[in-house]
Amino acid sequence: MNGHPTVDPTAFETAAAAAAALKDRFGIPALDLALVLGSGWSSAADDLGEPLGACDLADLPGFTAPVVAGHGGALRVVRTPAGKVAAILTGRTHFYEGRGVDAVAHGVRTVAAAGASTLLLTNGCGSLNPEWPPGQPVLLKDHINLTGETPLRGATFVDLSEAYAPRLREIARTVDPTLPEGVYVQFRGPQYETPAEVRMAGILGGDLVGMSTTLETIAARAVGLEVLGLSLVTNAAAGTSDELLDHAEVIEAGRAAAPRLAALLRGLVEVL
Ligand code: 8IG
């Protein structure tokens, strides 16, 4: 797509090179966990521990600069109150950018190669549930990948029956017992859904619609990471309210929810 290769035979070598560069740059032996921040989540991760350093993601092998307003492109490394070394990726490559699935999976593969065992994937999304308005964080219990793509190749029969680790979901609910759980549906985008597509997602069992996360979760499970998924509802999904969708609304919902999201992430890294 767009002249970019969908399959990069050196993807894991590039991730290993990025992991080596990351550890070298921050003088750490390994990562313990990693967070990927989606729309609305960036300021929520400003105070997760003692800063060990930061750089542009694009300074590491295999990463490219972000393209969307409200999506960052930095790598921050902190020591959490629990004494763990955490990488915070303030942006991600989306599938709709057309750089192929390996570019989408690169951040996940890099943190795994750097030793992380836990991955916290966050995103901004549309909600099908009127009880989850903009500003509502939702724990992912499962996903439906409607991209028609996968970051895996060949006979890689990865078990996804517990894609979003029950153990980590239980921990998240101890941090915030009011967190609801939902099924996230990834469309390929970049256009938002039609109302009919949103109804389809609901009939299929989805609660949330978005353009990220499922391909990264698949890549993460394939390399053995435990995944926790957290969505921030930034808008009612198309056709489920009188509102029309626009990106400014998405950014505003994130701003308004920031204190709650910050408390949630701080609580999580204290126990993860
Ligand atoms: I933020 O309503 C955000 N991302 N597909 N649909 C899809 N992606 C989204 C939406 C939405 N809101």
CATH number, position 207 = 3.40.50.1580
Q: Can you name the residues that pair with 227 across neighbouring β-strands?
A: 119
Please state, in angstroms and rounded to a whole number, the distance separating the CA atoms of residues 272 and 120.
10
pLDDT, mean of residues 1-13: 67
Q: Whose CA is nearest to atom 5 of ligand 1?
A: 210
Ligand 1 center to residue 125 CA distance, Å? Answer: 4
Q: Are strands 181-186 and 208-210 parallel, antiparallel or unpaired?
A: parallel
Q: Give the nearest ligand 1 atom to 185 CA.
A: 5
**Residue 249 catalytic?**
no
Residue 74 forms part of a structural domain: yes
Q: Whose CA is nearest to atom 2 of ligand 1?
A: 126
**pLDDT tens digits, one per residue of 11-51:** 999 999 999 999 999 999 999 999 999 988 988 999 999 99
Among the residue ranges 14-28, 64-78, 111-125, 167-181, the one predicted with the least confidence is 64-78
Helix residue ranges, H only, 3-83: 11-26
Question: Which residues have CB under 6 Å of ligand 1?
Answer: 39, 124-126, 187, 189, 192-193, 209-211, 234-235, 237, 245, 250
pLDDT, mean of residues 62-89: 86
Peptide bond before 51: cis, by omega within 30 degrees of 0?
no
pLDDT over 80 at 70, yes or no: no
Point out the catalytic residue in the list 97, 193, 216, 226: 193
Q: What six digits make up the tokens of 233?
A: 């509802």
Residue 170 forms part of a structural domain: yes
pLDDT over 80 at 162, yes or no: yes
Mean residue pLDDT of the chain comes to 92
Q: Whose CA is nearest to atom 8 of ligand 1?
A: 210
Please state, in angstroms and rounded to a whole number, the distance separating the CA atoms of residues 258 and 228.
19
Residue 195 forms part of a structural domain: yes
Q: Are strands 118-127 and 74-79 parallel, antiparallel or unpaired?
A: unpaired
pLDDT for the residue numbered 3: 42
pLDDT over 80 at 68, yes or no: no
Residue 263 forms part of a structural domain: yes
- Residue ranges making up the domain that contains 91: 11-271
Residue 6 forms part of a structural domain: no
Q: Give the nearest ligand 1 atom to 40 CA.
A: 1
Residue 2 forms part of a structural domain: no
pLDDT for the residue numbered 13: 93
Ligand 1 center to residue 37 CA distance, Å? Answer: 15
Q: Give the nearest ligand 1 atom to 250 CA.
A: 1
Residue 81 forms part of a structural domain: yes
Ligand 1 center to residue 259 CA distance, Å? Answer: 22
CB–CB of 262/43 below 8 Å? yes
The alpha carbon of residue 212 and the mean position of all alpha carbons in its chain are separated, in whole angstroms, by 7
Q: What six digits make up the tokens of 40?
A: 């609305």
pLDDT confidence band for 71 (50 / 70 / 90)? low
Q: Which amino acid appears at position 28 of this protein? A: I
Ligand 1 center to residue 258 CA distance, Å? Answer: 18
pLDDT confidence band for 2 (50 / 70 / 90)? very low
Place of tokens 């030793």: 115
Q: Can you name the residues that pair with 236 across neighbouring β-strands?
A: 127
Place of tokens 């391909």: 215
Question: Which of 92, 95, 125 to mutate to test ligand 1, by most ligand atoms within 8 A of the CB atom?
Answer: 125
pLDDT for the residue numbered 1: 40
Distances (CA, A) of 211 to 38, 147, 214: 10, 9, 9
Q: Can you name the residues that pair with 174 across neighbouring β-strands?
A: none
Please state, in angstroms and rounded to a whole number, the distance separating the CA atoms of residues 72 and 90.
5
Q: Are strands 181-186 and 74-79 parallel, antiparallel or unpaired?
A: unpaired
Q: Whose CA is nearest to atom 11 of ligand 1?
A: 126
**pLDDT tens digits, one per residue of 189-221:** 999 999 999 999 999 999 999 999 999 999 999
**pLDDT tens digits, one per residue of 228-270:** 999 999 999 999 998 777 778 777 777 889 999 999 999 999 9
Which has the higher per-residue pLDDT, 215 or 72? 215
Q: Can you name the residues that pair with 76 across neighbouring β-strands?
A: 54, 88
Residue 5 forms part of a structural domain: no
Number of domains in the chain: 1
Q: Which of 235, 252, 188, 180 is nearest to 215 (CA)?
A: 188
CB–CB of 210/187 below 8 Å? yes
